Structure 1
């Protein structure tokens, strides 16, 4: 997994009545206040600027400028969803494209070789094609039912997520219906991290919601790494058995 890609991805909620900039501020403050061990396990906060489909480019640009400034000051990663020209205009760290956006290879040409580029996938085949086109990571979902976005296919669940994570070599970020209580099962299914919208923007205390997500991500990441080390040790022991038997 890419250690430079944070495990918690906050997607801005620009629906009427929401406060995307205030939510980002609260999230960045919560990340800064997290303990060293939590930050080490979860990496930098990733903020993905997403606006409503009917928003103007000016609306998207103005929001992206403010979010990018906040992220730069806090050492967070700033990505722009869909509108890659806005990503370039504000100097974001990269972007994310979905099924109806630019093809991944075209998006990579727009952003250049050094940018972070996420791509949405639901199957391993789509995921592998996105990686071949230049995707740095995959956003996989919907993992659970969500009311944040309309017209989504049926949820994959942890098993469907695992079918993708087990088939691709890049970080996978689980999205849709993610809560702190579901983090452990998503990382156990192979996810590198999670992307959230409503779990933070709709919370009474967005900062507290981010703190809870970070704690669960750190705990699950440590558990996952320990299981990997244990499995690696068992594999090495199994590989050594025939050699020991052969010299007797």
Structure 2
């Protein structure tokens, strides 16, 4: 009887130990689940923070797009200057004579300037620059001729045209010659030829600002193409290190003219 009671007691104890062990294991499982859940949560939090940090870094490195006009100016300045790329170095003595001619012209001694240039042309027939300067002397004579003497003025224009054309024949990419020849054609009333030579100047040197300005004037005052004039004025301004006040006024005036026409058409 005593043995039976002890056996029951022992069995009861074993069951108690087993129950405690099961509860302990169950508790361990619950704790593991808790740690696992905390670990997962912490990892997710870290991932979110990392993603936010990465996003912040990417945003700081975003490239701000250029203004369309700025992009166009950069492209024009990067384009090849065909006149300079095709030219060859000149001797120091030749450059000295050329500078002497320019100094004489600047001082108003056009006769001396012409003599130096003509000698330079004889000595260096493959240079186009002296022909351009001779044309410039003709244009100074044209500007200084009395308005009443149209025949004389026309003769100076024709002489300038011939000299600029000789410069272009020697070097087709001399954009200075094209620009000046365009002005001669404009004075002669041949606006189609004037436009073409302004375009030739731009093709030879896409960043040549004066060609855009003169083309704008041609469109504005002679051809009545106000939108094209505006585009060329704006491009000229964009190519300047410091925009010109006078051209800014022209642009503002053209915008008003264009707006009035558009409003009239929309009514």
Structure 2 length normalisation: TM-score?
Answer: 0.24
More strand by share: 1
Please say which structure displays the higher CA radius of gyration: 2
More helix by share: 2
